[in-house]
Each structure stands twice: as structure tokens, then as C-alpha cells.
Amino acid sequence: MKKTLVVALGGNAILSKGQKPTISSQFQNVKKAIKHILPLYKKYNLVITHGNGPQVGNILIRVEQALGKAYKLPLEVCVAESEGEIGYIIDQSLLNAMHGKKIKAGVATLLTQVLVDKKDPAFKRPTKPVGPFYTKRQANILKKKRLPVMFDAGRGYRRVVASPKPIKIIEVPIIQKLLKQNIIVVAAGGGGIPVIKEKGKYKGVEAVIDKDFASCCLAKCLKADILLILTGVDKVKLDYGRKNEKSINKMDAKLAEEYMEKGHFPPGSMGPKIQAAINFVKHGGKKAIITSPRNAENALKGRQGTHITR
């Protein structure tokens, strides 16, 4: 019986920093990543998650530009649209990569709803920047409309929204059934569509869920064996970017937490990935691995990447 592997495909594997965001460039990048992910199907049931930062930002720009000409879309619907866009690219890239090879697998991309707590403190303290950049004058107009805004990285003002913690992946039973039928599943894209539960019914909320936390939640709900987080570096580093930079081959959850407390893994970069890895192994996962797409196969053989164990 195959083990289950959740592969979290980082946003930079879909759109590189500084790269012009186009559909063709996304196809090119995803094609390269799939080349290293597809071979894993021989040994594992595969579930692929992905980021959506640039894509959902562009969708929000379209929404704003179309005000008065088309109906407005709430943020959670924008997330759903990005799941469809990127899911289509990954789905088709997988099918094309199988062509001519002895891999008999189906591919299914699911719009995935993720349950969050409506009382999550994040709703009172929005911190996640989304969408386009604004001038100070535009930002003041948004503030008058009671829309939270912050100055982001010296580039301008941006809207900030809540980023609640994921509790449960609604479509897990469907994903489990698909995996039993040898289907590769693309799910929880961009952290999934945030929903709350009121009087037994689901309702979308304007928020974004961290993609690494959502990937961890999905892996836990599926009782996956391994969480493989693919990002822009081959291994996690201590003192990243400094002269004394040092790669980490292996660490347990306790040591990873100690490094976090010392500030080695900033919240805006490696922090969420390390926290997701810690949460996964603490809740029954065998191990989590952080590496680049090109090292995916070797990482699962223990030859590459940073391995986090219980």
C-alpha cells in the first residue's frame, strides 16, 4: 500500500521573483516543477497544494478596475478563482508530463473550503497584505471606508486582511476517495477558501489562510506520512544571507522551535514553513522535508533537503 505524500508547491515555483506574471510563464515554471514531482507518484499517493500570492493580487486589481462595469467579488471568491487558474495549470501540466510514460493516473483539481474559527483573533487584527499598492491619498480613502491599510516594504500602501488559522479541510473525505482510485489530487490552493460555520451551515469570509498552515492542516487531516514543502532553497539555513550562514540537514521539532525563538526563521519567509513542519510532526506525521523542487526525489531518499522529525 502506498504512503501518502502532501507536496506544498511554493509560489516561486509558479512565478519567480521579478518575473512578468503571465499564463505562459506560469506554465513554463510549473512544467519544470512537475518534472521533479511526478516521479514521486511511483511510491506515494500524491496531493499537491500551491501558493497564489501574485495571482490573487492580480484578480483583485481586475476587480478594482472593473468597479461599476462588473459585479464586485469578495476576497474568498478571488481565492477560489485563483485555485481554478493555478489548478488548471498544474492539472494540465501533470497530464502532459504523463504523456508517453508508463504512468496510469488520473488528475483532479478541487476547489477546497477550509474551516476557520469566526472568533479567531486574526479577524480583529488584520495583518496580511493583499492586492495592489496604493498612494497615500488612495490609502486614506480606503481608511475612510474602514478598510485596514498598511505601508508595505517601502513600496506603498496595501490593504491588510485577516489570516486565521485553518481548523479543518472540508473536502478531505472526497480527497481520500480519489487517492484510493490512483488519482493525483490538487487541493487547498492558496491556503484554500476560508469559511466559517453558522447554525450548521458554511459561509465564506473575507480572509486569506497561510498556504503552509493549510498544507499542514490538510496533511494532518489525511493522516499523511510526509509533508514535502518545496521552496526556493535546497536546505533551511541558519543566519541566512550572512557570512556565517549554515545549512541544516536534520532537526527535531524541539530544536526547530529553539531556532525560531532565536529569530533564525522570520515570519515573512521561512517561519511559516518551519512552524507548519513542526505542527505536522507533532500531530502524527512521520517527517516534514523542506527543499527545492529539483531536489524533491533526492530529498525523499534522504540525500537532500532539511528533514524535520518528531
**Phi, psi at residue 149, to the nearest 5°?**
-135, 145
Annotate 265-300 with three-state secondary structure: CCCCCCHHHHHHHHHHHHCCCCEEEEECHHHHHHHH
- Single out the catalytic residue among 12, 45, 279, 295: 12
| 262 carries an active-site annotation | no
The C-alpha cell that represents 269 in the structure block: 519567509
Closest by Cα among 99, 79, 98 to 87: 79
Distance CA 231, CA 295 (A): 10
Location of C-alpha cell 530529498: 299
Distance CA 114, CA 170 (A): 6
- Single out the catalytic residue among 51, 52, 211, 279: 211
Residues in the chain: 310
**Phi, psi at residue 25, to the nearest 5°?**
-70, -35
Distances in Å between the Cα of 192 and the Cα atoms of 58, 141, 168, 172 are 17, 30, 11, 12
Number of other CB atoms surrounding residue 75 within 10 Å: 23
- Single out the catalytic residue among 10, 11, 191, 192: 11
Distance CA 35, CA 137 (A): 46
Strand order in the sheet with 156-161: 128-134, 156-161, 149-152
Strand order in the sheet with 166-169: 166-169, 113-116, 193-198, 201-204
| 246 carries an active-site annotation | no
Amino acid identity, position 61: I
- Single out the catalytic residue among 128, 220, 235, 287: 128
The C-alpha cell that represents 89 in the structure block: 495549470
Distance CA 274, CA 303 (A): 19
| 156 carries an active-site annotation | no
- Single out the catalytic residue among 52, 57, 191, 273: 273
| 249 carries an active-site annotation | no
| 232 carries an active-site annotation | no
Catalytic residues: 11-12, 128, 211, 273
